[in-house]
Amino acid sequence: MDLNEAIHARRAVRSYLPETVDEASIRLLLRAATQAPSAMNAQPWAFVIVQDKARLARYSDRAKAALLAKSAGDPKAERYRQMLSDPKFNIFYDASTLIVICADQSGAYAQADCWLAAQNLQLAAVASGLGTCCIGFALPTLNEAEVKAELAIPQRMGAIAALIVGKPRGQPEPVPRKEPAVLSWLR
């Protein structure tokens, strides 16, 4: 698969086969992530890998409760509130693996660096026949002091990007894209 194919084939995968992703495959994804550019070559990223489904289910429940409490009375959140209220809904879609990309957030570009690493990881996953999905819903919970301590994330660092990884159960339909909005093209 060439890079352009991988870019176009990548989808947010929300349904997975139960098998665990093996260590060699995870290490390949981490290597791809660390090939990302970073401001002043700071390479601020560090990774947490969670492959304990019971723990992921616990963090999912915790995240849902926090998101519901935070969005109470917000009409814009209604669509999500219904989903988050469903006890069967797991914000990690029962994926076997969660990769959290962390960094010291005091760096001006740490967020950008980590998200670039996240995209490298996602494209490398496509090339390996794996699916991924960014899980923004998880970030507030992953940044709670208690959870950070459980995941050995140092106090000075934060969880910046969270991605589930697994063997996809089928290929999701492409989501429509807007045409590139070019504001100006000065020649």
Question: Which x/- pattern, by CB under 6 A, does the window 11-40 give for ligand FMN?
Answer: xx-x--------------------------
User: SS3 letters for the chain?
Assistant: CCHHHHHHHCCECCCECCCCCCHHHHHHHHHHHCCCCCHHHCCCCEEEEECCHHHHHHHHHHHHHHHHHHHCCCHHHHHHHHHHHCCCCCCCCCCCEEEEEEEECCCCCHHHHHHHHHHHHHHHHHHCCCEEEECHHHHHHHCCHHHHHHCCCCCCEEEEEEEEEECECCCCCCCCCCCCCCCCCCC
Say whether residue 68 binds ligand FMN (CB under 6 A).
no
Select from 48, 101, 135, 159 the one that contacts ligand FMN (CB under 6 A).
135
Which of 137, 153, 158, 163 is the binder for ligand FMN (CB under 6 A)?
137
> x/- string (CB under 6 A) for ligand FMN, residues 80-119?
----------------------------------------
Q: How far is the CB of 24 from ligand FMN (least distance, A)?
A: 26
